A and B are shown apart, each in its own frame.
Chain A
Amino acid sequence: MATTIRKHRNVLPGFRLSLGYTILYLSLIVLIPLAATFLKTAELSFAEFWAVVTAPRVVASYKLTFGASLLGALINAVFGLLTAWVLVRYTFPGKKIVDALVDLPFALPTAVAGIALTAVYAGNGWIGSLLEPNGIKVAFTPLGVVVALTFIGLPFVVRTVQPVLQDLEAETEEAAASLGANRWQTFRKIILPAVWPALLTGFALAFARAVGEYGSVIFIAGNMPMVSEITPLIIITKLEQYDYTGATAVAVVMLVISFLLLLAINGLQWWSSHRHQASR
């Protein structure tokens, strides 16, 4: 490494100290502990591992976790795009406050979000009492899980799409209009393709966040096995029964999926910024 410094004639000091400390701290806090999960799973034979991670109750939890996360992310893609559009293009009273509050799910502790959503969507809550007479039960059902996961993923799409919409050149839209396109055609043919990578990135971020979410979900879900039990809760339940290898096996499945999502998101972000820069 000393040779690279000399080659680039970088006169700034502290390269070895800062990089060394970065790698040491990263290894101690993140890499070595994460490796422990994979080593712990190695205590199981593959057949045992497979039996644990494909048990019916665990499979039911995957379906709920990924299904609800997907639905939540889709809701956020639609309404997040709309919200980003409204915040960038229009003016209305209180817009600045609304813009700031969009980040609330990042700042509000998940447990607080969980009990607040439960209070609002339970049968006697402000919104729940309006829905339940119409036969829609939200709290303590899988629908409650979707509501919680929509809440925690809400800022992602808005915040990835907003800067792209902001930077969109008015000239292309003017050109489209002068060539006879109506607003809807302009939106579909000009605006949507431009924000598409950012929209997809925001969607993937919201989805990835939702898959691992625990705090906001467990209060509103009701946590019935096979019905409204999410995968992170399965891990907790196994830990409480001192089934460490079982908990770790399920954790490894989730970790692998999360890593794949992280790679996909990195790819999407690269594509998005590439497109974003090329269009400028």
Chain B
Amino acid sequence: MSGATNISQYSRYNAKVARSRATSEPAWIRWALIGVSLAFLTLFLFVPLAAVFTEAFRKGYEVYLNALIEPDALSAIKLTLIAAGIALPLNLVFGVSAAWAIAKFEFRGKSVLITLIDLPFAVSPVIAGLIYVLIFGLQGWFGEWMSEHDFKVIFAIPGIVLATIFVTFPFIARELIPLMQAQGKDEEEAGLVLGASGWQVFWKVTLPNIKWGLLYGIILTNARAMGEFGAVSVVSGHIRGLTNTMPLHVEILYNEYNYAAAFAVASLLALLALVTLALKSFIEWQTARQASDNEKRTEE
């Protein structure tokens, strides 16, 4: 439901179709269409992206740097790294395990399971935060027990981690399921017949086959985990220096009219987004190259 575009889609992108004059447009229409499309993208994408960096440096490098190294900003950066650092490995193990069960075996209710895995994409981030407040909040199911044992989830780090896990839940599984389904299980079976153990087959056969898809899922998960705002905002309580992640820190600074600092922190997140897109393009290029290599090999 969300950002997940499958890399498998890109494998055919390189094929160029030669077009005759009958099946292409006159030059002036071509350029007009390109112009309209670029104007649209400029208004909605390029200008806002440029604005992040311009606003961040509006008051000079010193203000910019100071906004990044003040204690509250540093603790927000640290908390963002912690939340992503916990959510990512957990969703990674889940994604691989779900893809293994779904792609390599037949069982009843498989399509229902796939739909359920997609659920977090369909749920508003605000509701993703709300569900954990209902369970772990003071009025929630475990609220009383937890306040007796002095264990806090809501308005504390565990809640932020949980909300982050929820919103990034499907990314890796969604990336791997179609990929592993397409690859089938012949190679794994061959490995087993040759006497390898289950784990050996997984590490030596399956993992190398899915490495690009896995990496793709990881960078998408990471980008979302570090940037999540709505869900985290509900469970965080916005305690400065304690439960503020980077996006929440941006919000607080912005609401205090401290625009230069808000955009300085925002520019770090925007940079992360650009690195994510660059890695994504690199992986797509890699898989496209591999696919065309494979095609050539089968043709020979």
Chain A residues near B (Cβ < 8 Å): 1, 4-5, 8, 10-15, 17-19, 21-23, 25-26, 29-34, 36-37, 40, 79, 82-83, 85-86, 89-90, 92, 96, 98-113, 115-117, 119-120, 125-127, 147, 150-151, 154-155, 159, 162-163, 166-167, 170, 173-174, 177-178, 183, 186, 205, 208-209, 211-215, 219, 232, 235-236, 239, 242, 244, 247-248, 251, 254-255, 258-259, 261-262, 265-266
Contacts and interface: CB of A to CB of B under 8 A. Distances in A.
Given A100-B277, A115-B254, A255-B123, A167 B12 contact: yes
Interface string B171-204: 0000000000000010011001100001001100
A240 B19 CA distance: 60
Interface of B: 1-3, 5, 9, 12-13, 15, 17-20, 22-25, 29-30, 33-34, 36-38, 40-41, 43-49, 51-52, 55, 93-94, 97-98, 100-102, 104-107, 113, 115-127, 130-135, 137, 139-141, 162, 165-166, 169, 185, 188-189, 192-193, 198, 201-202, 220, 223, 226-230, 233-234, 246-248, 250-251, 254, 259, 262-263, 266, 269-270, 272-274, 276-278, 280-281
B38 A98 contact: yes
Chain A to chain B: the 6 pairs with minimum beta-carbon distance, closest first: A109-B227, A212-B124, A106-B3, A215-B229, A177-B22, A13-B198
A115 B38 contact: no
B contact face: mostly helix, strand, loop, or mixed: helix
A177 B21 CA distance: 10
Contacts of A254: 124, 127
A13 B140 CA distance: 40
Contacts of A213: 124-125, 230
Contact of A29 (B18, B19, B33, B165): B165
B51 A174 contact: no
B91 to A, nearest CB: 9
A32 to B, nearest CB: 8
A208 B273 contact: no
Contact of A31 (B12, B105, B116): B116
Contact of A163 (B9, B19, B33, B166): B9
A4 B38 CA distance: 54
Contacts of B139: 242, 244
Contacts of A208: 1, 122
Given A90-B33, A115-B263, A116-B52, A29 B123 contact: no
B105 to A, nearest CB: 5
17 contacts: A21-B94, A96-B281, A107-B272, A107-B273, A107-B280, A108-B227, A109-B228, A109-B266, A111-B247, A159-B5, A166-B13, A211-B124, A214-B229, A232-B125, A239-B133, A255-B127, A262-B121
Most chain B beta-carbon contacts within 10 A, residue among A111, A117, A247, A258: A111
Contact of B229 (A111, A117, A127): A111
Given A34-B123, A106-B220, A115-B250, 7 more contacts: A10-B104, A11-B192, A22-B101, A110-B227, A116-B48, A205-B1, A265-B1
Contacts of B30: 90
